Amino acid sequence: MILAGSDTTTVTLIWGLSLMLNKPHILKKAQEELDTHIGKDRFVNETDIGKLVYIQAIVKETLRLYPPAPLSAPRELSETCSIGGYDVPKGTRLIINLHKIQRDPKKWPEPSEFKPERFLTTHKDVDVRGQHFELMPFGSGRRSCPGTSFALHMLFLTMSNFLHAFDFSTPSNGLIDLTGTAGLTNIKSTPLEALVSPRLAPELYN
């Protein structure tokens, strides 16, 4: 459980930062939200998360585009049923392609575009906890990830502190490669290279 929780969280943070580096205006908007609600004399703490709605939207959009486990855990059908017009017999093992579902153009306008604002407007009521089948990076039902709440808490808090404490840029000012790899975990195919500089008071880093 510890291994599953550590690599998926790391992968999501890497994808989120990569997406923002390719769209610096989103990164800037997130930092403006942090400066407004947190200021520059302290780091983000757990009680601040509820106020940082734009950063929550960034995390949700990252999970939509790059679910850490693009194929859900296998299910075995307990009874015969119909799925998408196909009769599936009892005992069949079913693996759900979350990557495909979460980029369905029927549910997501411009499905391959990184647009966190959609979770503040058209999709503001869509959550990631498995209650909306168009977005379920943690699965759904009794087989959903048992660490969903903890994972979201850590993602919001870590992402917020990253963006608040540091300025990020790319070494060549070029676009980050967003190619993924095949596997159980959706790992970025090339390492993320970024230049990092502090943006808060020096004494906070001691």
- Contacts of residues 120-129 at CB distance under 8 Å and 24 or more positions apart, as own/partner, are 120/53, 120/54, 120/57, 126/60, 128/60, 128/63, 128/64, 128/152
Has 145 been labeled as part of a binding site? yes
What DSSP letter does each residue of 131-144 carry, written as one string?
SSTT--TT--GGGS
Nearest in space to 158 (alpha carbons), one of 51, 53, 16: 16
List helix spans (H) across 40-139: 53-65, 98-101
3-state secondary structure of 204: helix
Nearest in space to 52 (alpha carbons), one of 128, 158, 166: 158
Residue 109 CA to residue 200 CA, distance in Å, equals: 37
Residues within the annotated binding site?
Answer: 145
| Binding residue ranges for heme | 145
